[in-house]
Amino acid sequence: MPDIKITPLGAGQDVGRSCILLSMGGKNIMLDCGMHMGFNDERRFPDFSYITQEGPLTSYIDCVIISHFHLDHCGALPYMSEMVGYSGPIYMTHPTKAIAPILLEDMRKVSVEKKGDMNFFTSQMIKDCMKKVIAVTLHQSLMVDSEIEIKAYYAGHVLGAAMFWIRVGSQSVVYTGDYNMTPDRHLGAAWIDKCRPDLLISESTYATTIRDSKRCRERDFLKKVHECIDRGGKVLIPVFALGRAQELCILLETYWERMNLKAPVYFALGLTEKANNYYKMFITWTNQKIRKTFVQRNMFDFKHIKPFDRQYIDNPGPMVVFATPGMLHAGLSLQIFKKWAPNENNMVIMPGFCVQGTVGHKILNGAKRVEFENKQIVEVKMSVEYMSFSAHADAKGIMQLIQHCEPKNVMLVHGEAEKMEFLKQKIQQEFNLNCYNPANGETCVINTPVKIPIDVSLPLLKSEAKKFNALPPDPKRRRTLHGVLVMRENSVCLMDVEEACREAGINRHIIRFSSTVHINDTGPALSTAHKLHVFIKENLPQWPVTFAEGEISIESVLVKVEGDENEQKNVYVSWTNQDEDLGSYILNMLNQMGQ
């Protein structure tokens, strides 16, 4: 039995540092190469020593596929390719290739310059690594080598996120990366066709959640912002640089447009501006509305959203400001927060989850006074709102994807173990599929059925089709094909008998079986033959029975009556090898009749 072996080096029953090793048909493929944001030691990168203790990985890995630019999916890539050593092909989509280096560089700066990490990859390494990347387009089928074929599908989630379908020989796997089954303001929903892979490796971040409609939350968000603006307040929205920030921008931008609002909206510069440029360029990766209207106006060419300058903080009048970072733990967003918090007209909207210990976490839990390191105390009188927009598929979405692509096995990664357990059960119950959720380092073996593709010669198929269609239609009838299986050097081929003989230079020999049955029947032989004809016809209503020159023929079976009048008749029954069943049936019938 051929099998598929999967070993998660990261993201097995865990979120972070996604890295899955896939081996099938003698090929080894690495899916994603991410880092863990929660660790600062060697645990932040996947354990590549699992693959080989020493030396470069190139000879062990045939290709690396990166699903999207989030650091937990691509963060370890320069480390692997430059420091551990890998020179094979790396595949990712165009937007991912464009945006990933920006994020990697940013992360490098933070860890090396701020935290003083040593033994970290350098800017040059990021550049070298990106040179090894081959960019792919959606639905483009690409041969990695003569055997591996990959194809990207749209995954929603963030710009350029893709699901990958990978085929080696007759085995195929779909790896989803992160995906989102509900569209949002700037991206569409994940889509895959009925590719029926042997295995679907799906993320399961929200394995135990079914989400409410997004519209409600959006409306709430907009209403709150609008009310605050109307009463002359300032709105602070701390965001992470990429992904949700763009969604919120689009949301506010269209709302400003719709309501003809005049209050300024600012976006803190930096990383985001570069990223916005890429959003502008990769219009084909966005949702229907943006795609359709970009000819008139690119939605990412924000009309109402302007870059922010620090001195605007003290400007009078209402305004909305997007500022990084998202958890209010440092930087510009915290600075603005300190200024605006004491005014009850103002508002801060937290668009995501906040880690314990951050200012964001404190105010979300209702803290009215926040103390900072330098004994500075800030009264929080501004209103604090929480608005979560998440871009992962929920349990229903995951099930829907499974339904759409109809895999034979499912594997869950990128989620918490106990949540996975629930979804695993559900998948087994409702789809009756095998479901796996290996832990990191645990190898999972999936057996796949043996499939042997055979070439069939066209005339053979055509003649069969003709024969089948000529009969009255019956969906239940079996379709049979007579032919010779010819095995050449490394191909198997089904051929017509005559053709095969000709090709092999063999004269065809036909074996006929014949047998004689004695019948006592007076009268000329012809009349006996007639009687037999009628008899056989009655007994074989499904078959074409012909009668010519005293011989009855059914397919290749011949029945012939010989003998003089008033004598015992000899009935010869003869048939070829192919019609053995029919021939012996008729013979048997004639024998029985005699008794």
Partner 1 sequence: MTAVLKKRALAEYTQTIQETFPSQPIKKLRLVKKTPAGTGNSSLALISCLESSKSSSEALRTLLRVSDTFELEPNDIPEAVKKLSDHFKNEPESAVRVKILSLLSDVGHLLGADVVAIIDETILLLKNDHSHKVIAQGMNTVLKLGKLVPDSAAALHQKLVDIAKGYLKDVSHAVKCKCLEIIGVHAPVCTGAEAEKLMVLVSLYFNNEDARVRSQAFSTIITLHERSFKINPDIYVDVCEALKDDYEIVRQVVLKLVCLLGNTYPENEVLLPGSEHEIRLIDDAFGKVCNAMSDLSIHVRTLAAKLLGTMKLVSAKFLNQTLDKKLMSNMRRKRTAHELAWENVTSGEWASGKKWADDAPREVLDADSINLMSSGACGAFVHGLEDEFLEVRSAAVESLCELSIRNPQFANTSLDFLVDMFNDEIEDVRLKAIDSLRRISEHIILRDDQLETILGALEDFSQDVREGLHRMLASCKMSTTAGLKMCVEKLLDNLKKYPHDKRSTYRCLQRIGAQHPELVLPLVPQLLNIHPFFDTAEPDVENPQYICVLILVLNAAKWSPTIIPLLEPHTLRHYAYISDTMPTLVPVLSLPDSSCNAISRPQTVPESLEFLNNVISNLDMTENTLRVQTTLLQTAKEHLNRLSEIDSSVAGTAQFTSLYIGAQLIMSQILEKGYWLNPATLATQQANNLQTNIKNLLEYCLKLQFFFVGLSPVEECTVKMFRLRALALNLVYIVKGSNASALAPCHHFLTVVEDMQRDLSLAGLEPDGFTAAVFRELSVLEEPKPGTVSRILIPILSEAKLVRIPRPNTQIRMSSAEIVEPTGQTDTSLKFTAGLVMAVRFEAELRHLNDPSRVRLKVKYPDQKTQVILPRPAHLKPWYLDGSDEDSQTGHNLRLLTSVLVSHQVWSEACNVEINVALAIPEADIGKRKASIGATPTLIDLCKPVKVSVAPKPIKRTL
Total residues binding partner 1 (CB under 8 A):
61
Whole-angstrom distance, CA of residue 514 vs CA of residue 512: 6
- Restricting to residues 387-416, name those near partner 1 by CB under 8 A: 395-396, 399-400, 403-404
Please give the distance of CA 299 from its chain centroid, rounded to a whole number: 28
Dihedral sign for Cα atoms in the order 242, 246, 252, 256: positive
* Residue among 131, 109, 132, 133 nearest 120 (CA): 109
Interaction of residue 258 with partner 1, rule CB under 8 A: yes
Q: Which stretch binds partner 1 (CB under 8 A): 31-39, 86-94, 252-260, 435-443?
A: 252-260
Interaction of residue 191 with partner 1, rule CB under 8 A: yes
Interaction of residue 291 with partner 1, rule CB under 8 A: no
Which pair of tokens denotes residue 87? Answer: 């020179």
CB-wise, 383 or 570, nearer to partner 1?
383
Selected from 355, 465, 481, 504, the binder of partner 1 by CB under 8 A is: 465
Which pair of tokens denotes residue 138? Answer: 């959606």
For the bound state, the minimum distance from the C-beta of residue 97 to partner 1, rounded and expressed in Å, comes to 25
Please give the distance of CA 7 from its chain centroid, rounded to a whole number: 18
Interaction of residue 344 with partner 1, rule CB under 8 A: no
CB-wise, 258 or 451, nearer to partner 1?
258
Length of the chain: 595
Q: Please check whether residue 301 is in contact with residue 280, taking contact to mean a CB–CB distance below 8 angstroms.
A: yes
- Restricting to residues 298-337, name those near partner 1 by CB under 8 A: none
- Restricting to residues 104-143, name those near partner 1 by CB under 8 A: none
**What distances in angstroms separate CA 502 from CA 46, 456, 499, 507, 573, one per listed residue?**
60, 16, 5, 8, 30
Q: Please check whether residue 230 is in contact with residue 201, taking contact to mean a CB–CB distance below 8 angstroms.
A: no
Interaction of residue 537 with partner 1, rule CB under 8 A: no
Whole-angstrom distance, CA of residue 352 vs CA of residue 374: 27
Type of residue at 393: A
Whole-angstrom distance, CA of residue 409 vs CA of residue 22: 14
Selected from 43, 214, 329, 531, the binder of partner 1 by CB under 8 A is: 214
- Restricting to residues 16-45, name those near partner 1 by CB under 8 A: none
Selected from 132, 211, 339, 408, the binder of partner 1 by CB under 8 A is: 211
For the bound state, the minimum distance from the C-beta of residue 450 to partner 1, rounded and expressed in Å, comes to 23
Choosing from 82, 105, 147, 203, the catalytic residue is 203
Q: Which stretch binds partner 1 (CB under 8 A): 167-175, 188-196, 231-239, 265-273?
A: 188-196
Q: Which stretch binds partner 1 (CB under 8 A): 11-19, 129-137, 216-224, 546-554?
A: 216-224
Selected from 5, 223, 310, 369, the binder of partner 1 by CB under 8 A is: 223
Interaction of residue 152 with partner 1, rule CB under 8 A: no
Selected from 116, 453, 475, 541, the binder of partner 1 by CB under 8 A is: 475
Interaction of residue 574 with partner 1, rule CB under 8 A: no
Sequence-ordered list of residues with C-beta below 8 angstroms from that of 540, at least 6 positions apart, any chain: 554, 586
For the bound state, the minimum distance from the C-beta of residue 206 to partner 1, rounded and expressed in Å, comes to 9
Whole-angstrom distance, CA of residue 247 vs CA of residue 186: 6
Please give the distance of CA 222 from its chain centroid, rounded to a whole number: 34
**What distances in angstroms separate CA 65 from CA 21, 135, 267, 361, 453, one per listed residue?**
10, 10, 33, 36, 28
For the bound state, the minimum distance from the C-beta of residue 337 to partner 1, rounded and expressed in Å, comes to 16
Type of residue at 449: P
Whole-angstrom distance, CA of residue 303 vs CA of residue 149: 43
Which pair of tokens denotes residue 281? Answer: 């360029």
H-helix or E-strand containing 226?
helix 214-230
Residue 42, burial from CB neighbour count under 10 angstroms (0-12, 13-18, 19+): exposed
Interaction of residue 462 with partner 1, rule CB under 8 A: yes
Tell me which residue has tokens 């990166």.
66
Interaction of residue 182 with partner 1, rule CB under 8 A: yes
Q: Please check whether residue 191 is in contact with residue 152, taking contact to mean a CB–CB distance below 8 angstroms.
A: no
Reduced to 3 states, what is the DSSP secondary structure of residue 249?
helix
CB-wise, 208 or 556, nearer to partner 1?
208
Interaction of residue 386 with partner 1, rule CB under 8 A: yes
Which pair of tokens denotes residue 79? Answer: 């480390």
Selected from 53, 288, 356, 542, the binder of partner 1 by CB under 8 A is: 288
CB-wise, 237 or 552, nearer to partner 1?
237
CB-wise, 153 or 164, nearer to partner 1?
153
Whole-angstrom distance, CA of residue 292 vs CA of residue 484: 56
Concerning whether 203 is annotated as a catalytic residue, the answer is yes
Q: Please check whether residue 222 is in contact with residue 248, taking contact to mean a CB–CB distance below 8 angstroms.
A: no
Interaction of residue 431 with partner 1, rule CB under 8 A: yes
Interaction of residue 226 with partner 1, rule CB under 8 A: yes
Q: Which stretch binds partner 1 (CB under 8 A): 15-23, 134-142, 143-151, 251-259?
A: 251-259
Strands 265-267 and 319-323: parallel
- The 10 Å Cβ neighbour count of residue 295 is 8
For the bound state, the minimum distance from the C-beta of residue 221 to partner 1, rounded and expressed in Å, comes to 10
Interaction of residue 470 with partner 1, rule CB under 8 A: yes
Interaction of residue 185 with partner 1, rule CB under 8 A: yes
Selected from 43, 127, 132, 224, the binder of partner 1 by CB under 8 A is: 224
Q: Which stretch binds partner 1 (CB under 8 A): 103-111, 262-270, 459-467, 507-515?
A: 459-467
H-helix or E-strand containing 580?
helix 580-594
For the bound state, the minimum distance from the C-beta of residue 406 to partner 1, rounded and expressed in Å, comes to 9
Interaction of residue 482 with partner 1, rule CB under 8 A: no
List the catalytic residues: 203
Residues forming the site for partner 1 (CB under 8 A): 182-183, 185, 188-189, 191-194, 208-220, 222-224, 226, 254, 257-260, 287-289, 350, 364, 366, 383-386, 395-396, 399-400, 403-404, 419, 422, 425-426, 430-431, 462, 465-466, 469-470, 473-475
